[in-house]
Amino acid sequence: MSIHDIELTEENRLEIEEKDHTFVEFEYLATSHQPEVRELVAKNEYLPNKYALMMAEDEIVQVRTALAGNPKLSPEVIAILSKDKKIPVLKAVAQQISLEPSLIHEFAHHRSHPIRDAVSTNKSLPIDLLKLLSRDSQWGVRRSVATNPNVTTEILNPLVESGMHEELSAIAKNGAVQKEILQKLYERIVDSKDIALRGILEDIICHPNFPESFARDLYENLRTEGERRQANEDADGQWVREIERKSVASRQDLSANFVERLRQDPDYNVRATLAANPSIPDDILAQLALDEDKSVRTAVHKNQKASAETKATALLLGIDSSEDDN
């Protein structure tokens, strides 16, 4: 075993973990007496199989866990790690996309729910097992199913109808979810009086598959509702609606007509969010640079997509003092 200490800095940590070392260097690192060094090199995708096999039997669980997360392991090493007695190691193995079908099946039926949770995110998980795990007794497992990019509309429908907040939030954050599911999720949440549940609307509104027509309807309804209830609404309700309207303004695929509508929003928070949106064309940013509110002009000045001329206009009219040197 290598007995000399390696002083670990941010730079050489990255080198140990990522560099294609020589065979001799890998031997030195893999046999280091420092567990932290072995843990770092265990993550290295260039790690020779000889040392991966040796490290699969390492006495330190953190080393074996790090190795189990290495995406370039041979079937032989994965087979050894899949028989480990420690949950962290098995969780990492369960997420290996190169798992044999028999191992995927074993993990999907594992008695320990953290293992089922981990395998539920695996892109290699077949539809029949995704469907099985979507009905798991543990909500954490069902939430993980909702994050899987291969999950189908058929699997998600029951979760949308009766899922807990965590499951619904996971669905809204899954970039692969289709608009039909997003629309159903939107319809379930939009009239909810549960503040936490309505918070999920932010992810739905900004989802690339959520139709702009729905976002536009939500925006108009929120404006009308706000005007009607402005006098007697509680602070939580005002805050939630502001978040939702700002979310509409942060969408990346806004049509020209809708952008113009948002540019004229009476709420400076919405205009500032629009001004910070990197997808907004410079001609609109130039108009926002003339906004009466300093926070809007500041957002324009910070927007990397704004032209030098537009930034100069915002700066000339005044921005927050903390941004003057940027």
Question: How does pLDDT run across 206-254, given as a tens digit for each residue?
Answer: 999 998 988 888 888 876 544 444 444 444 555 567 778 899 999 998 9
CA gap 148, 146 in Å, rounded? 6
User: Structure pTM?
Assistant: 0.80
pLDDT score, position 231: 40
Reply yes or no on whether the pLDDT at 174 is more than 90. Answer: yes
CA gap 94, 108 in Å, rounded? 9
CA gap 197, 43 in Å, rounded? 38
Reply yes or no on whether the pLDDT at 159 is more than 50. Answer: yes
Reply yes or no on whether the pLDDT at 178 is more than 70. Answer: yes
pLDDT tier for residue 19 given thresholds of 50, 70 and 90: very high
User: C-alpha angle with apex 315: 310 to 318, nearest 5 degrees?
Assistant: 130
The pLDDT tens digits of the residues spanning 252-300 come to: 989 999 999 999 999 999 999 999 999 999 999 999 999 999 999 999 9
The mean per-residue pLDDT over the stretch 200-209 comes to 90
CA gap 280, 284 in Å, rounded? 7
- The DSSP annotation for 92-148 comes to HHHT-TT--HHHHHHHHT-SSHHHHHHHTT-TT--HHHHHHHTT-SSHHHHHHHHH-
What are 124's two structure tokens? 């290699």
pLDDT score, position 239: 52
Count Cβ neighbours within 10 Å for each residue of 266-285 and write b for 16 or more, e otherwise. Answer: ebbbbbbbbbbbeebebebb
Name the strand (E) or helix (H) holding 257. helix 256-263
CA gap 262, 216 in Å, rounded? 10
Count Cβ neighbours within 10 Å for each residue of 289-306 and write b for 16 or more, e otherwise. Answer: bebeebbbbbbbbbbeeb
